[in-house]
């Protein structure tokens, strides 16, 4: 870890939003929606800093910060947003800027968080070997849990961007066809096996033209930052519909993301070595250095009127396929990417039962109950439950976190 930054602003040591973080998001305050950053318990109004001439020579205009999305700002690319983030850190670490810097601070309790980006396209991967093995064991031959392609390609599918929602927004239980008994016709009705999926998402800058590819070496320059991601899943609908084309209504009714985008620069100090990949990958998927990230993850379920109970503690470092490989594979055929595109990791499960990233695994396909506080039990998510996911990195006294993504489930309409 490089030298630890210290701020003239008092920040709780347990805050996800230390001076080493400086994420980006969008807030509404006093009727105005604008681009913001965050430090401790304060949002940073970047328009105020810009109008005080504290962001000169960063290459941004007033309209970049008065926007209701980050997309235009992100079109400045990695060099642009890195310069901006470094400048914000300088303002809040150097006493010279204290008077002006204080004017830009807004109590986080007084702002409304907005969806930070316009998502053009959304891809969901399937990159945790523990999760894929668990699912394959449950539904196929345990001796051949992984499909033949799994260790050769980062498996993924294109999802629905329109139904990605921000933390705090409620969702309704989806309806669809299910086939609970193999020897009887399908039925229609509300999903009975509603599940969360613990994931992380990464968001890209503007990419290369159609026909060009992004290598694993270049990938970091095209990744803006990361969010917590709950990719909701209707297991009973999915089981019936997924053959032969994969998830559809079981997934596109809603996915939830956290509000603050934590930059890849902020996460660099927490890089770790990934798992050994065997057999050897194709050359375009080879990479150098540590590309996994040590992000500690937690999932809680809070039944209405009850305390929240932790049901999962996992870690993003377990991912078999890292995001550099995911982006390289996504573009190897010439597929173009754009600023604001979102790519989810797939369910993040670890090697122990308490680190499984879905109720499907925690309850082992509903054959076991998951104990919550006060004698409450769950096999899958029930109406009026709230699912809360949290994540942070911590090393050598420095903490960089994501806050949370929280979603309450309402009954089917």
Enumerate the active-site residues.
Answer: 131
Cα gap 260→225, rounded to integer Å: 9
> SS3 of 71, please?
helix
Token code pair at residue 193:
């096996």
Is residue 391 within 8 A of residue 316, CB to CB? The reply is yes
Q: What is the largest CA-CA distance in the chain?
A: 75
Q: CA-to-CA distance for 384 and 347, rounded, in angstroms?
A: 23
Question: What's the sign of the alpha-carbon dihedral 364, 365, 366, 367?
Answer: negative
Q: Who contacts 350 (Cβ-Cβ below 8 Å, separation ≥6)?
A: 130, 314, 315, 318, 356, 357
Q: Give the count of alpha carbons within 13 A of 103, CB side only.
A: 11
Let me know if 145 is exposed, middle or buried by CB neighbors in 10 A (0-12, 13-18, 19+): middle
Q: How far apart are alpha carbons 207 and 121 in whole angstroms?
A: 13
Name which of 196, 161, 192 is nearest 360 in CA terms: 196
Tokens of 98: 């204290």
Q: Is 233 exposed, middle or buried (0-12, 13-18, 19+ CB in 10 A)?
A: buried
CA distance 299 to 314: 9
């Amino acid at each position: 870890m490089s030298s630890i930054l210290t701020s003239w602003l008092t920040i709780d040591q347990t805050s996800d939003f230390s001076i080493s973080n400086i994420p980006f998001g969008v807030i509404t305050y006093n009727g105005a929606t604008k681009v913001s950053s965050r430090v401790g318990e304060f949002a940073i109004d970047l328009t105020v800093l810009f109008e005080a001439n504290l962001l000169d020579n960063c290459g941004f205009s007033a309209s970049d910060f008065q926007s209701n999305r980050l997309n235009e700002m992100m079109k400045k690319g990695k060099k642009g947003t890195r310069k901006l983030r470094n400048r914000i850190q300088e303002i809040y670490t150097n006493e010279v800027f204290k008077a002006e810097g204080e004017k830009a601070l807004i109590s986080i309790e007084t702002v409304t968080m907005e969806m930070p980006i316009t998502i053009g396209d959304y891809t969901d991967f399937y990159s945790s070997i523990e999760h894929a093995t668990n699912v394959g064991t449950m539904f196929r031959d345990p001796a051949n849990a992984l499909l033949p392609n799994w260790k050769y390609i980062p498996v993924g599918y294109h999802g629905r961007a329109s139904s990605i929602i921000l933390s705090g927004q409620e969702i309704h239980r989806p309806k669809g066809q299910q086939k609970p008994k193999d020897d009887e016709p399908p039925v229609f009705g509300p999903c009975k096996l509603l599940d969360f999926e613990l994931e992380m998402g990464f968001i890209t800058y503007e990419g290369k033209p159609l026909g060009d590819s992004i290598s694993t070496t270049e990938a970091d320059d095209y990744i803006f930052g990361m969010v917590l991601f709950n990719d909701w899943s209707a297991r009973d609908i999915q089981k019936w519909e997924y053959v032969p084309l994969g998830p559809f209504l079981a997934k596109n009714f809603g996915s939830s993301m956290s509000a603050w985008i934590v930059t890849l620069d902020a996460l660099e100090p927490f890089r770790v070595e990934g798992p050994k990949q065997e057999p050897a990958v194709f050359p375009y998927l080879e990479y150098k250095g540590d590309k996994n990230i040590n992000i500690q993850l937690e999932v809680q379920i809070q039944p209405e009127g009850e305390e929240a109970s932790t049901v999962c503690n996992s870690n993003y470092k377990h991912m078999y396929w890292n995001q550099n490989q995911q982006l390289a594979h996504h573009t190897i055929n010439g597929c173009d990417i754009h600023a604001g595109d979102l790519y989810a990791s797939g369910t993040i499960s670890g090697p122990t039962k308490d680190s499984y990233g879905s109720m499907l695994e925690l309850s082992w396909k509903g054959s076991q109950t998951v104990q919550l506080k006060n004698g409450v039990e769950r096999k899958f998510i029930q109406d009026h439950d709230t699912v809360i996911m949290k994540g942070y990195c911590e090393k050598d006294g420095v903490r960089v976190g994501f806050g949370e993504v929280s979603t309450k489930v309402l009954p089917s309409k």
